[in-house]
Amino acid sequence: MNQQPSGTALSSPAPATSVLTRIHPYAPAILIMVTALCLAATGGALMKQLAGELPPVLLSWFRFAIYGVILIPLAFWRAGRACLRPSRPVVQVVRGLLLAAGNTSFIIGVVHVDYANAIAILYVYPFLMVGLSALMLGEPVSRPAWAGVAGGFCGVLLVIRPDPAALDIGAIFILFTGFTVAVQMLLNRKLGSESDPLLVSMWGAVVASVALSVSLPFVWQVPAGDQILLIAFIGGLSALSHTLMIVAMTKAPAEEIAPFTYFEIVAAIIIGMAMFGTLPDGWAWAGMALIAVSGIAVKKLPGVLKMRRREKY
């Protein structure tokens, strides 16, 4: 490329990442995370579509089996035979079992719950993480964080609006999924300092598919041709979205990305309207807003208060 003489009005175009970083220092990572969340929301909606046609356990097995087939060669390419000797194997197995249980539970629940509402209920997991981190990791939890937990729980109640006389079993399954995701996230923190995230992801897929294989003799049926294509597409989306999440987390601090994870709720609303013709009602909208605001407060407010204390003293 020829250099432009000094003093001319023309200049070479800045790289896209440079333009993004001028908008926000972590804009590339945020954009990658939002893309990953949109892909994950699309995969979840496709699972909801298939859940009425195939047994949830079988659908979950297909997802993790395809996910594993994609990741195993990548893991060997990245780490060689070392990927066969994971650190903390017991923790890896527990994480994989939680993946299997949580994904199957979500598929069962989403059959009975509006998709956008299902994703909103699932986002109980950041608040469960706060409480569980005190029990599992011994981490202190600030009062603002507990306030955010209370607010998020109230938001989930607004979405669910439980009726003791007619309790929605689908919402209970999705709440259980939220619990499994919260524990997985804490286990990720234990494993992340010792293992390559790609290897953690691979072992999760392998353990989940092996665990779900036990049920195959009882639920097996041969999917139709269009179902096979859709299942393969879901597996590819899962592998891509999870990989993009890993990439995003390596490019920015978690506290910078966390507030944008609630974009998955927005994506679920749009996808639910496009695929299923449904929209949340007024109470559900209010609950989703409260979940997002409370989740951002849990991540951001303690840090802001610490900064103000430093400035004060």
Asked if residue 33 lies in contact with residue 257, where contact means CB atoms within 8 angstroms, the answer is yes
Whether 11 is in a domain gets the answer no
- Percentage of the chain beyond pLDDT 90 is 16
Examine the pLDDT at 309 and tell me if it is beyond 70: no
The answer to whether residue 182 is domain-embedded is yes
Instruction: Please give the Cα distance from 229 to 111 (Å, whole number).
Output: 21
The amino acid that residue 43 corresponds to is G
Residue 15 belongs to a domain: no
How far is CA 159 from its chain centroid? 19
CA-CA-CA-CA dihedral for 299, 300, 303, 304, to nearest 10 = -160
180's tokens: 């499994």
% of the chain at pLDDT higher than 70: 78
- Return the residue matching tokens 């209370």: 150
The more confidently predicted of residues 9 and 110 is 110
Q: How far is CA 126 from the centre of its chain?
A: 11
Predicted pLDDT of residue 21:
58
- Average pLDDT over the chain, rounded to an integer: 78
Question: What is residue 294's predicted lDDT score, i.e. its pLDDT?
Answer: 77
- Residue 10: inside a domain: no
Task: State the Cα–Cα distance between residues 178 and 152, nearest whole angstrom.
Answer: 13
Q: In terms of Cα–Cα distance, which of 169, 145, 165, 155 is closest to 121?
A: 155
Amino acid present at 267: A
Average the pLDDT over each of 51-60, 109-118, 248-257, 268-277 and give the range with the smallest value.
248-257
Structural domain total, the chain: 1
Q: How far apart are CA 92 and CA 204, in angstroms?
A: 7
Give me the pLDDT at residue 291, please: 78
CA distance 86 to 168: 40
Domain assignment present for 14: no
Residue 172 domain flag: yes
Q: Which residue has the tokens 């607004």?
A: 158
Nearest to 121 by CA among 76, 190, 172: 172
Among 7-11, 49-53, 216-220, 288-292, name the one with the lowest average pLDDT. 7-11
CA 30 – CA 32 distance, rounded (Å): 5
Q: Where are the alpha helices (DSSP H) in 161-281?
A: 169-192, 197-213, 216-219, 225-251, 254-257, 263-276
What is the model's pLDDT at position 9?
A: 43
Q: Is residue 76 part of a domain?
A: yes
Q: Which two tokens stand for residue 162?
A: 């439980």
List the one residue out of 74, 92, 67, 44 whose CA is nearest residue 209. 67
Q: What angle do CA 267, 268, 272 make, to 5 degrees?
A: 120
Q: Tally DSSP H helices, then E strands, for the chain.
A: 14, 0
Span 243-249, mean pLDDT?
A: 77
Q: For residues 297 and 266, give the distance between their C-alpha atoms in angstroms, rounded to a whole number.
A: 18
Among 55, 67, 88, 70, CA closest to 210? 67
Whole-angstrom distance, CA of residue 69 vs CA of residue 38: 23
Domain encompassing residue 149? 26-308
> Residue 255: which pLDDT band, with cuts at 50, 70 and 90?
low
**Which residues, at least 6 apart from 32, have a Cβ–Cβ distance to it below 8 Å?**
244, 247, 248, 251
Tell me whether residue 301 is in a domain: yes
